[in-house]
Structure 1
Amino acid sequence: MTAAPATDTRRGILMMLGGMTLFTLNDALGKWLVADHPVAMLLAVRSLFGLAVLAPMIWREGLAAVFAVDRLPLHILRVLLMTVDVACFYWAVGYLPLADVMTIYMSAPLIVTALSVLVLGESVGWRRWVAVAVGFAGVVIVLNPTGRFDLWPSLVALLGAFIFSCGVISTRILRSASSLTLVANQMVGGMLIGGVTLPWTWEAPGWLGFFLLGLLGITALAGHAMMNRSLQLSPAAVVVPFQYVAILWAVILDLIVWGTAPTARIGVGAALIIGSGLFIVYREQRLKRGVAAEGVAEVP
């Protein structure tokens, strides 16, 4: 196995940090906007701006090349999953601090590990199952992180993390499709699904609201682009752990914008979730290196 050059590795880490910073900014914008605008409206306008940014690339590749896909039902299912995931997130942050919802969503790698066994038939050994159990213990701790009775928003956030994980599994199955096709389909789906409700939910934003709605779509696309580039430049085991910087940014934004301080409960839960997620990444990479070096299957 050829190691990535040190320069590329550093660039990959910077890309991941930048991507997660943009994602956190996008989530904070969503929390700010959902206080004044319906979730469906955010979905539609966010997707419209994102699609506008993608339009030159779609035009260059050709509509047929981007949207004429095999396994259309699975593509539609993936779009539905990813759209409902965003809706769950925006709804949850309307009731909970941003850091709380972000921490619950960080359970997604644990859920993906479990689903990979059930859906993809992958082998997961006892060490990773223990890590999944520890991570879910952290999720249970975080479910009511602010000390108030916020059970339903917390459960919606957990549902969103589960739906997002199902979307990740569907993306693995559709990995032969181009990144442009996957992102463009997602933007079109979000615009159509959110747009269906616009006659009943539309609330004309002011110039600042319109600007922030546009920024919502642009930061999401830029975050995706930086994260994908990060994974191209550096091994996943190197850059994936830096995704957890999103929780730090969320805590800082909660303090600065909304004046919400993190609790000890969210700190303990986040430590369990992050620790178990890092162990799963470490274990998967160790297994890959062992198989590559020895040509034999190591016990997961």
Structure 2
Amino acid sequence: MAMNDNIKGALLMSLSMASFTINDAMVKVVAPDMNAGQIMFVRGLMSSTMILIIAWRLGALRPLSTLRDPRLLLRAFCEVLASVTYVTALSMIPLPNAAAILQALPLAVTMGAALFLGEPVGWRRWAAILVGFCGVLVIIRPGAEGFTLASLLVVGSVLTAGARDLFTKVIDPATPSLFISATTSIAVTLTGGALIVPFGGWQPIGISHLAALLFGSSMLIIGYQTIILAMRTGEISFIAPFRYTSLIWAILLGIFLLGELPDLWMLVGAAIVIAAGLYAFYREHKLHREIAARRATSPSP
């Protein structure tokens, strides 16, 4: 993988994290008045419509037979689970806390790449993964009143989002990113519609809430597209650490938009998770340099 591709993938990942975090903030704005199912449904109708129009204009739509690819369906299923758990959790805990737990996602992706894609991971990076998930426990603080359930939902979102990213990596490169985004968005929208009644029923939507969801939908489209492009452009081990930029956005939006101040335990736990992830990234980068050096000095057959 060329270094330029890795840099491009890192920039796309950073843009994706900013977009997703802004969308999360919009969800927090409307969450007091709408349940998770309604939020997913209304936001999904907007984003799906926009994605389908863009995909149609760019010729990215594909026959329905394309959906026979189990990797595409499994990616959409994982995205649905990640959305349900995370949107539900956002209505229960501050945005910076949810984002801090989400910082374990690069470690989960690295672990999944080792277990399911055959990428080499040494004992040092396995140790970093373990330390990182200990940092998640510091953030969660099991037993804290009103916090454990929501935190576990975010953990579930981390695991399912990690699986989503791995399926993205193995989808046929000929499948357009916009088509993948469209199928994912439609799946999330339909799931949200099915959950409206079980989650409390339909609530009236004001103009301000509609505007917030429209803005969030636009950010979601950008996030969907850029994360797919990122996962298909760079090496997972290189671009995954750039997910940590989302925490910066979450803290800033939490403070200045939502009035949510991060607590000490959240900052300590997030620092542990990020440090573990950066160490895992360092070990991966060092391994690639050693492999490249050996190849450069090996005689040609």
Give the TM-score taking structure 2 as reference length: 0.84
Corresponding residue number in structure 2 for 1:250: 250
Give CA deviations for 1:174-227 in whole Å, capped at 9, x if unaligned: 253331221111011112222234567332311222222221211111234455
Give CA deviations for 1:19-64 in whole Å, capped at 9, x if unaligned: 4322211111112222211111111222221122222332235576
Corresponding residue number in structure 2 for 1:137: 134
1:153 to 135, 150, 169: 150
Cα 1:185–1:229, aligned 2, differ >3 Å: closer, same or farther?
Answer: closer
C-alpha distance in structure 2 between counterparts of 1:122 and 1:87, whole Å: 30
Residue 47 of structure 1 contacts residue 191 of structure 1 at CA under 8 Å; is this kept in 2?
A: yes
C-alpha distance in structure 1 between counterparts of 2:219 and 2:121, whole Å: 35
Residue 135 of structure 1 contacts residue 276 of structure 1 at CA under 8 Å; is this kept in 2?
A: yes
* Aligned positions of 1:235-274 closer than 5 A: 240-274=240-274
* 2:39 equivalent to 1:42: yes
Q: Percent identity?
A: 28
Which residue identity does 2:26 align to in structure 1? Answer: L
1:4 alignment partner, SS class = helix
2:70 to 64, 69, 73: 73
Cα 1:167–1:24, aligned 2, differ >3 Å: closer, same or farther?
Answer: same
C-alpha distance in structure 2 between counterparts of 1:121 and 1:165, whole Å: 15
1:245 Cα offset (Å): 2.4
* 2:121 equivalent to 1:124: yes
Corresponding residue number in structure 2 for 1:280: 280
1:137 Cα offset (Å): 1.0
C-alpha distance in structure 2 between counterparts of 1:66 and 1:197, whole Å: 28
Give CA deviations for 1:139-197 in whole Å, capped at 9, x if unaligned: 11011399644111111111111111121222222253331221111011112222234
Which residue identity does 1:210 align to in structure 2? Answer: L
Cα 1:105–1:239, aligned 2, differ >3 Å: closer, same or farther?
Answer: same
C-alpha distance in structure 1 between counterparts of 2:156 and 2:124, whole Å: 25
Give the TM-score taking structure 1 as reference length: 0.84
C-alpha distance in structure 2 between counterparts of 1:145 and 1:25, whole Å: 28
* 2:86 equivalent to 1:99: no
In terms of mean alpha carbon deviation, does 180-189 or 202-211 score higher?
202-211
Corresponding residue number in structure 1 for 2:299: none
* 2:24 equivalent to 1:24: no
C-alpha distance in structure 1 between counterparts of 2:285 and 2:215, whole Å: 36
Corresponding residue number in structure 2 for 1:216: 216
Which residue identity does 2:104 align to in structure 1? Answer: S
1:56 to 40, 44, 53: 53
C-alpha distance in structure 2 between counterparts of 1:163 and 1:107, whole Å: 12
1:124 Cα offset (Å): 1.6
Gaps of 5+ in 1: none
2:190 to 189, 192, 200: 192
2:62 alignment partner, SS class = helix
Which residue identity does 2:244 align to in structure 1? Answer: Y
1:3 Cα offset (Å): 4.8
Paired residues, number:
293
Residue 128 of structure 2 contacts residue 279 of structure 2 at CA under 8 Å; is this kept in 1?
A: yes
* 2:69 equivalent to 1:85: no
C-alpha distance in structure 1 between counterparts of 2:149 and 2:286, whole Å: 38
